[in-house]
Amino acid sequence: ATQEETLGFQTEVKQLLHLMIHSLYSNREIFLRELISNAADACDKLRYEALDNDALYEDDSELRVEIEVDADANTVTLRDSGIGMSRDEVIKNLGTIARSGTAEFLQQLSGEQQKDAKLIGQFGVGFYSAFIVSDEVTVRTRRAGEPSEAGIEWRSKGEGEFTIAEIDRPVRGTEIVLQLKEDAKEFADDFRLKSLVRKYSDHIDVPVRMPKVESAKDDDGNPIEGSDVTTWETVNEATALWVRPKSDLSDDDYKAFYKHVAHDFSDPLTWSHNKVEGKLEYTSLLYVPGRAPFDLYERDGARGVKLYVQRVFIMDDAEQFLPLYLRFIKGVVDTKDLSLNVSRELLQQDPQVEKMKSALTKRSLDMLKKLAKDDEAYQTFWNTFGSVLKEGPAEDYANRDKIAGLLRFATTHTDSTTQDQSLAAYVERMQEGQQKIYYIVADSFNAAKNSPHLEIFRKKGIEVLLLSDRIDEWLMSHLTEFDGKSFVDVAKGELDLGEIEGEEEKKAQEETAKAKEDLLKRVKDALGEEIQEVKVTHRLTDSPACVVLPENEMGFQMRRIMEAAGQ
Ligand code: ADP
Ligand code: MG
């Protein structure tokens, strides 16, 4: 090695390393999954780049991952024949955390181990997980297509700095040597590693190989000294999981694959695996995660599916295949109907993609409908992603009925903050003669629940949806009806309870209104310009007065949002 240089990790990496080593201790075998996952990604990338530059294969087109153990030296080595990294790439990829928002995210971490262990699952911890089991990690790599002098050696003990040096490296791709910690010796064992490869990496379509030493036997069946031959044995299934028939796949297979595509630690809530043949030909495997990524609400947060064209990896986060309000869905789409040279720009204009998007949207909504049969799982989904799904009716007019069926609300039926009531359940509970679905929007659940506007409804036993999420008013302005019943904001306009009110009640109200004309005039004069109108109302049963917005007026929530935007 020439000219060794010592560099410091980005602060966030230091934090992450520290946290990881302490919080993932009981789960440390995942390091192998992460490193194999990266090696397989590197092979995918080479295959993709080589589509229009064959030379990158350098006469060795066999993409593979190899794992070797040296029990005496207490090391594990992973090698891949993938794309490799240049010097700049090594520094960027193994010295910083590139993902946006990570710095803020890390600041939220508390240092309480329990909580952090969960939070950390929201990243793909990736490469740095090598330090959970290693005292020192050495990476030797060369980018495909570069001369052998362009090899790079990166070395670190995971304590704040790493060294980097130029080396001669005749083979392309990356080799990672883990010097195992004293208490991680268990991993320097072929048998253990093989079972981990099968457990975590069966579904990866690149072969993961391990050496098998065989020696010739003499006539008595004893090994002949010096006759050892090493052959490489493929340990994993090595076929892309989504290509295999459903009947071959267990729940555990699907879950393991999810962790690979979604960079998530925890299990998905559900998935849907489909092969479509006909005018469009594609296979999709879509998942609903069990937890939100930290960047769910960030503009440039990761979204979309992994795109393959005829088994060749094309890109991560292909966001053209699902609408924004389904950005939490993870998975894979593999199609024959796109060219291998497709780019993000081309995807945007391709009518085939538009058709797939619409089919995958339906597929996702159906998957959620099915999930909704399991109350507990659906509640987890709703608590995690409900407010994202609420963007749906505005973005996807065509599917708004389906989306409406998936929404869950807090209502006066339970008076609990938990959003667990469907519109279908509301409709079932409607009073005789009730034709509308009533709702109220406020800044907080308590403000909604205690609003004087609800007095008459509570008295008459009519259920009202209690809305207090930021997005709720926006949602309601795009939901016009459900099951033929229109939505009414109880705080706006004339309150018409329709047939729920008897003729006599109506008459009595009109008489009261007449009798109080004088009072109304005095109040109006006193308030002057501040208001439009003063009316007698039957909305209230206990409170003396309340503020009401005209029918077509923007609500309080929207006003505030517009004001904040400087409108
Ligand atoms: P992620 O895989 O989610 O991007 P990682 O921490 O696992 O995050 O890896 C960081 C980056 O390092 C990868 O995105 C990739 O660019 C690079 N990298 C890691 N391992 C390899 C490898 N074996 N070959 C080439 N590049 C790699
Ligand atoms: Mg990774």
- pLDDT at position 109 is 64
Q: Which of 25-39, 293-307, 319-333 has the lowest mean pLDDT?
A: 293-307
Tell me how far the alpha carbon of residue 36 lies from the centroid of ligand 2, in angstroms: 8
Share of the chain above pLDDT 70, in %: 88
Q: Is 82 close to ligand 1, i.e. is its CB under 6 Å away?
A: yes
The per-residue pLDDT for 558 is 66
pLDDT mean over 17-22: 79
Q: Is the pLDDT of residue 57 over 70?
A: yes
Binding residues for ATP, as ranges, are 34, 38, 80, 85, 93, 100-101, 122-127, 174, 344
Nearest C-alpha neighbor of 196 from the set 177, 210, 206? 210
Token pair for 421? 């009531």
pLDDT attached to residue 117: 58
85 pocket-lining for ligand 1 (C-beta < 6 Å)? yes
- Determine the atom of ligand 1 nearest the C-alpha atom of 173: 24
Rg of the chain, C-alpha, whole Å: 31
What whole-number distance in Å separates Cα of residue 349 and Cα of residue 531? 51
| Burial grade of 199 (CB within 10 A; 0-12, 13-18, 19 or more) | middle
pLDDT at residue 294 above 90?
Answer: no
Is 127 a pocket residue for ligand 1 (Cβ < 6 Å)? yes
Q: In the predicted model, is pLDDT for residue 50 greater than 90?
A: yes
Pairing relationship of beta strands 464-467 and 410-411 according to DSSP bridges? antiparallel
- Res 409: pLDDT: 98
Q: Whose CA is nearest to atom 19 of ligand 1?
A: 38
* Residue 123 vs residue 156, higher pLDDT: 156
| Mean of per-residue pLDDT scores for the chain | 88
- Ligand 1 centre distance from Cα of residue 37 (Å): 9
**Candidate from 13, 30, 38 with most ligand 1 atoms within 8 A of CB, to mutate:** 38
Of the pLDDT bands very low, low, confident and very high (cuts 50, 70, 90), residue 530 is: confident
* Any ligand 1 atom below 6 A from CB of 38: yes
Residue 172 CA: which ligand is closest? 1
pLDDT exceeds 60 at position 113: no
Summarize the confidence of residues 137-142 as an average pLDDT. 98
The verdict on the CB of residue 304 being under 6 Å from ligand 1 is no
| 293 Cβ closer than 6 Å to some ligand 1 atom | no
Q: Which bound ligand lies closest to the C-alpha atom of 40?
A: 1
For range 395-417, the mean pLDDT: 96
User: Region 172-178: what's the mean pLDDT?
Assistant: 98
Task: Sheet with 437-441: list strands edge to edge.
Answer: 410-411, 464-467, 437-441, 485-489, 481-482
* pLDDT in the model for residue 102: 63
pLDDT tens for each residue of 340-358: 878 888 898 899 999 999 9
Mean pLDDT throughout 218-228? 85
Q: Is the CA virtual torsion 505, 507, 513, 516 positive or negative?
A: negative
258: burial class by Cβ within 10 Å (0-12, 13-18, 19+)? buried
CA torsion, ordered 499, 503, 505, 510, to nearest 10 deg? 110
Q: How far is the CA of 34 from the centre of ligand 1 (A)?
A: 9
Nearest atom within ligand 1 for CA of residue 38: 20
CB of 126 within 6 A of ligand 1: the answer is yes
Q: Which residue has the higher pLDDT, 2 or 242?
A: 242
Ligand 1 near 102 CB (within 6 A): no
Decide if pLDDT at 69 tops 70: yes
ipTM of this complex > 0.90? yes
Ligand 1 near 66 CB (within 6 A): no
Q: What percent of the chain has pLDDT over 90?
A: 58
* Tokens found for residue 90: 């090594």
Handedness of CA 244, 250, 254, 260 (dihedral sign): negative
Mean pLDDT, rounded, for 255-265: 86
Atom 23 in ligand 1: residue holding the nearest Cα? 39
Nearest atom in ligand 1 to the alpha carbon of residue 82 is: 24
Question: Which positions ≥6 away from 261 have C-beta within 8 Å?
Answer: 287, 306, 330, 331, 332
Q: Which residue is it, tokens 């018409």? A: 496
**Nearest-angstrom CA–CA distance, 24 and 264:** 14
- Write out pLDDT tens, residues 428-460: 999 988 999 999 999 999 999 999 899 889 988
Ligand 1 centre distance from Cα of residue 93 (Å): 6
Q: Is the pLDDT of residue 422 over 90?
A: yes
- pLDDT band for position 110 (cuts 50, 70, 90): low
* 504 vs 330: which has the higher pLDDT: 330
pLDDT value for 97: 76
Whether 43 has a pLDDT exceeding 60, the answer reads yes
Asked if 448 contacts 491 with a C-beta cutoff of 8 angstroms, the reply is no
What local confidence, expressed as pLDDT, does residue 383 receive? Answer: 96
